[in-house]
């Protein structure tokens, strides 16, 4: 059964306390939410805890859920916030400033060090699993603000408007952060993909 998150009957059943509706919501949404939390937290146990907290918080917050909103976007926002709280509780190492990873420009507007194409396809330079690990580590180096936008837009495939709603920022902020995150990721991956060794 496919659940339409805009389905008013599902929302009405959830608000009425119908256990079957709640079970349907969890069964349908948990895999995607777990995927989001895994990408943010990089720890299976913490990700599962964050998903559980998401559903508990959603159940508690259901009376205040706005009729015009999408249930899926609301759950994404709760999951991202639960993951962020866990990250902050870990007392992570200080973040690397993104400015150091962005291209610089000379007075005429050209890049100081122009981007060069990667000559060999990345999957030929190293095996796919190794490449995934290199990309994952590079994404992890991005400051949280930029990493989250990149994960939600490019990995999870959320639209700009949905990403903005999940993060509680404007669509323009999402576009700017995504552009800067992609530039920074390119800087981090250049040495590896040009040289072919991590």
In a domain, 64, yes or no: yes
Range of the domain at 21: 8-89
Q: How many domains does the chain have?
A: 2
190 shares a domain with 102 = yes
Instruction: Give the whole-angstrom CA distance, residue 65 versus residue 197.
Output: 49
pLDDT of residue 63: 82
Instruction: Give the whole-angstrom CA distance, residue 124 versus residue 51.
Output: 36
- Calculate Rg over the CA atoms of the chain: 20
Is the predicted pLDDT of residue 29 greater than 60, yes or no?
yes
Domain termination site, one of 24, 57, 89:
89
Residue 105's SS3 state is strand
Chain centroid, CA 179 distance in Å: 15
Domain termination site, one of 89, 109, 124:
89
Taking only the tens place, the pLDDT of each residue in 74-100 is: 898 899 989 988 877 776 556 667 777
In a domain, 126, yes or no: yes
Is the predicted pLDDT of residue 186 greater than 80, yes or no?
yes
Ramachandran region, residue 168 (left: φ > 0; alpha: ψ -120 to 50; beta: rest): left
What confidence tier does 126 reach under pLDDT thresholds 50, 70, 90? low
75 shares a domain with 32 = yes
190 shares a domain with 109 = yes
Question: What percent of the chain stands above pLDDT 70?
Answer: 82
Find residue 105's DSSP bridge partners.
111
In a domain, 169, yes or no: yes
Mean pLDDT of the chain: 81
pLDDT of residue 7: 62
Instruction: Give the whole-angstrom CA distance, residue 92 versus residue 103.
Output: 26
Instruction: Give the whole-angstrom CA distance, residue 156 versus residue 158.
Output: 6
Residue 5's SS3 state is coil
Q: Which CATH number is 108's domain given? A: 1.10.10.10
Is the predicted pLDDT of residue 114 greater than 90, yes or no?
no
Is the predicted pLDDT of residue 48 greater than 50, yes or no?
yes
pLDDT of residue 1: 27
Instruction: Give the whole-angstrom CA distance, residue 36 versus residue 15.
Output: 25
Backbone φ and ψ of 111, nearest 5°: -65, 140
Taking only the tens place, the pLDDT of each residue in 158-182 is: 899 989 988 889 999 999 999 999 9
126 shares a domain with 79 = no
pLDDT of residue 2: 36
Q: Is 171 exposed, middle or buried (0-12, 13-18, 19+ CB in 10 A)?
A: middle
Q: Which CATH number is 61's domain given? A: 1.10.1740.10
pTM over 0.75, yes/no: no
176 shares a domain with 104 = yes
* Mean pLDDT of the region 32-55: 90
């Amino acid at each position: 059964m496919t659940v339409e998150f805009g389905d008013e009957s599902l929302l009405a059943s959830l608000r009425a306390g119908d256990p079957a509706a709640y079970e349907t919501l969890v069964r349908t949404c948990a895999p995607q939410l777990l995927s989001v939390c895994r990408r943010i937290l990089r720890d299976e146990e913490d990700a599962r805890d964050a998903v559980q907290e998401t559903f508990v918080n959603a159940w508690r917050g259901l009376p205040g859920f706005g009729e015009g909103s999408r249930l899926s976007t609301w759950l994404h926002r709760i999951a991202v916030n639960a993951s962020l709280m866990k990250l902050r509780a870990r007392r992570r190492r200080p973040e690397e400033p993104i400015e150091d990873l962005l291209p610089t420009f000379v007075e005429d507007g050209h890049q100081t060090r122009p981007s060069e194409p990667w000559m060999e396809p990345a999957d030929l330079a190293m095996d796919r699993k190794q490449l995934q690990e290199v990309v994952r580590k590079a994404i992890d180096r991005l400051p949280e603000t930029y990493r989250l936008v990149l994960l939600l837009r490019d990995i999870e495939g959320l639209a700009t408007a949905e990403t903005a709603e999940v993060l509680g920022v404007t669509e323009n902020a999402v576009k700017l952060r995504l552009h800067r995150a992609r530039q920074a990721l390119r800087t981090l991956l250049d040495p590896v993909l040009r040289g072919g060794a991590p």
